[in-house]
Amino acid sequence: MDAPTIHARDAAIRVVVPAFQARGTIGDCVRGILRSEVSCGYEVVVVDDGANGDVGAILLGLPVRVVMTGVSGSAAVARNAGAAGFAGTFLVFVDSDVLVEPDCIQQLVQPLAEGRAEATVGSYSSDVRGLSFAMRYKQLYVARIYSRRAGYVRNDFWTAACAINGSVFAALGGFDASFRGACGEDAELGCRLSRAGGRILAVPEAIGHHRHPLSLIGLFANDWRKGLVAIANYSRSGGPISDNRHATVRDMVSVLFATILAALLLASAFVASGMVAAGAVATPVAAVFGLYTLARADIVAVFLSEGLSFAAAAFLVMVALDWLRLACVTVGTARRLFDTNCRNRTIPPYAYREMSKGLGEGAHVPYS
């Protein structure tokens, strides 16, 4: 098994790690990559996009190459910089807050080497020991959602842990550099890849551990930003939104039940005033609550593995986030209808600008 090298121009694989505000995780991320069990030579390129402290000192003694961007403000730009000049076969992208399992990269690359796909995407681990509530919630939720759909996906790409044929990446022109921060540029590449006839294979066995610090408020803000951009991307792609692994038929049904539940709970406010009989609300509430729980049963079961108290709190958060998803669809669809200029634009539409509102011109969104 070949060891990674620093300037391996003949390496079959290049692992690109874009880093912004990653001083707390970049060292562990790179060391995890260097422990990978890969059947061919590979090199690791870390792209320092700012606010990382002294990356050279953090990675001192490790066989990696560091590329400086001069603070681009864009994960797309950073990834493109890391991929530039690659003459090998496969590009692997790993986020700087993800710790890959030893076989993750091999799992991602193997289908490409066998000609079964042009790109692959991995998943998160369900091991959430020692994490905060919000971090545990996100990793468990994503791990379960992504484990549902092994096999080929369309119009979707996920750069937390993924791989793509280098020549295909070059032919597509890389990531859309007009995206700022880290939000939607990966799915947009997936949309272009699908339109070009490329096959994207979901590999749930390619596992990483997400270690980005996350608060409950940050969890909601992250889902709001990414929800708006997802609507915009899929509106432009012409593909169904159900291509997104977060928006399967089961997920859409869950959002529908959550919406009906919210309406019934709102109606229950009139019970106290005597305007509505208690029985007229209580029975439908119980029925819809049961249907919602059934639709989300597999995720609830995962939450229960962390204990009843965690599951109860996580269930409430999940309901609230399903309401947020409805808001994303409503706002995204409305803006799409009124923003006629979006129909033929080549840059990310209004939704991307919305995600940065309040951050100020030139502000970053952490690469998470």
Mean pLDDT score, 147-175: 93
Mean pLDDT score, 165-172: 96
Q: Does residue 368 fall inside a structural domain?
A: no
Q: Which domain, by its residues, includes 289?
A: 249-355
150 and 55: one domain?
yes
46 and 191: one domain?
yes
302 and 173: one domain?
no
Q: Does residue 223 fall inside a structural domain?
A: no
Q: Does residue 364 fall inside a structural domain?
A: no
d(CA 145, CA 154): 16
Contact by Cβ (8 Å): 90, 13: yes
27 and 109: one domain?
yes
Total domains present in the chain? 2
Q: Does residue 229 fall inside a structural domain?
A: no
Mean pLDDT score, 113-134: 96
Sequence-distant (6+) residues with CB within 8 A of 44 are: 4, 14, 15, 17, 30, 33, 34, 63, 64, 65
- Measure CA 174 to chain center: 18
Q: Among 156, 190, 214, which residue terminates a domain? A: 214
Q: Does residue 1 fall inside a structural domain?
A: no
Q: Does residue 238 fall inside a structural domain?
A: no
- How confident is the model at residue 76, as a pLDDT? 94
170 and 125: one domain?
yes
Identify the CA nearest to 122 among candidates 137, 136, 110, 135.
110
Residue 73 pLDDT class (50, 70, 90 cuts): confident
What is the share, in percent, of the chain residues with pLDDT greater than 90? 60
151 and 297: one domain?
no
Which stretch of 234-243, 264-273, 335-344 has the lowest confidence by average pLDDT? 335-344
Residue 85 pLDDT class (50, 70, 90 cuts): very high
Residue 69 has pLDDT above 50, yes or no: yes
194 and 306: one domain?
no
Classify residue 130 as left (phi > 0), alpha (psi -120 to 50) or beta. left
DSSP 3-state of 144: helix
Sequence-distant (6+) residues with CB within 8 A of 89 are: 12, 13, 112, 113, 165, 166
d(CA 162, CA 201): 10
d(CA 356, CA 348): 12
Q: Does residue 199 fall inside a structural domain?
A: yes
Q: Does residue 47 fall inside a structural domain?
A: yes
- How confident is the model at residue 145, as a pLDDT? 92
pLDDT in tens, 274-332: 555 555 677 888 999 999 999 999 999 999 999 999 999 999 999 999 999 999 988 88
Type of residue found at 291: L
Which stretch of 29-33, 240-244, 246-250 has the lowest confidence by average pLDDT? 240-244
- How confident is the model at residue 1, as a pLDDT? 34
Which stretch of 49-53, 60-64, 214-218, 338-342 has the lowest confidence by average pLDDT? 338-342
In 10 A of CB 309, how many CB atoms? 8
Residue 333 pLDDT class (50, 70, 90 cuts): confident
Mean pLDDT score, 13-41: 94
161 and 310: one domain?
no
**Mean of per-residue pLDDT scores for the chain:** 85
> What tokens were used for 207?
């596992």
Residue 10 pLDDT class (50, 70, 90 cuts): low
169 and 45: one domain?
yes
Sequence-distant (6+) residues with CB within 8 A of 316 are: none
Look up the CATH number of the domain holding residue 200.
3.90.550.10
Q: Among 169, 193, 214, which residue terminates a domain? A: 214
299 and 167: one domain?
no
- How confident is the model at residue 276, as a pLDDT? 53
- Highest average pLDDT, of 224-233, 240-249, 339-348, comes from 224-233
DSSP 3-state of 13: strand
